[in-house]
Amino acid sequence: MDGRDGMRAADADREAVAERLRIALNEGRLELHEYDERLQRAYAARTYADLEVLLTDLPPVTPPQRSGLAAASTSVPAVDPPGAQSGPVATRGVTARWLAEVWLRYLNVVAIVVTIWAVTSLLSRDLLYFWPVWVAGPWGAVLLVRTVTGLTGGEPQRQAVERERRRQRKRDKRERRRELRAAESDEPDDPTAPA
């Protein structure tokens, strides 16, 4: 261990590693549970060596102008400035899912009420007053505000992280149940019975 590896890390160093891990998550290089584990270890790290271990299998962050295959010039990964967008493909998938959850019910209901309006207009052989606007208009305005505030506040990513945490808890719970069942099946039925 050289002198730098044994040196104490500062809060700024931990934050830089946390930011790099977030970028790796957005790029699809880390799964959510792995990101969560590494993030906990990053904030618990005491030395530079503790922090560098968390980044050894991740390539350095490169600016969009450079190729993703460009060779790294240093052993310490570079970090984009806070707020910089990275991993657009991974972020797009999470954002698209969140937008679908927010808007899908609205679109279904609007399609139903417009169909009802169209059928009644056809049956009456007259173009009736377009009353679906009173359903679509206010609800759409509320959803538009929710969409803008959610996207600017990072709501899609927060929901994706929370969804993965719930899945992980369920997997852990199932694993504990299996272990308990396996332990119960290994125990003898009556410990006082002679063998």
Tokens coding 37: 């584990």
Q: Which residues contact 117 (CB under 8 A, 6 or more apart)?
A: 128, 130, 131, 132
pLDDT classification of 111: cutoffs 50, 70, 90: very high
Question: Could you state, in order of their start, the residue ranges of all structural domains in the chain?
Answer: 1-62+74-86, 88-186
Q: Where are the beta strands (DSSP E) in 79-193?
A: none
pLDDT attached to residue 29: 87
For residue 50, pLDDT over 80 is answered with yes
Question: Rg of the Cα trace of the chain?
Answer: 27
8-state DSSP, 185: H
Average pLDDT over residues 9-15: 87
pLDDT > 70 in the chain, percent: 78
Which stretches within the chain are classed as H helix? 11-27, 32-44, 48-53, 88-124, 133-153, 155-186
The tokens describing 57, both together, are: 């299998």
> How far apart are the C-alpha atoms of 71 and 31, rounded to whole Å?
24
pLDDT averaged over the chain? 80
pTM, to two decimals: 0.43
What is the DSSP code (8-state) at residue 69? T
Q: Which of 64-73, 105-114, 122-131 has the lowest mean pLDDT?
A: 64-73
130-174 per-position pLDDT tens digit: 999 999 999 999 999 999 998 888 888 888 888 888 888 888 888
Any idea which of 110-114, 123-127, 158-162 has the lowest mean pLDDT? Answer: 158-162
Confidence of residue 124 (pLDDT cuts 50, 70, 90): very high
- The structure tokens 């119960």 sit at 184
pLDDT tens profile 56-77:
888 876 555 554 444 433 333 3
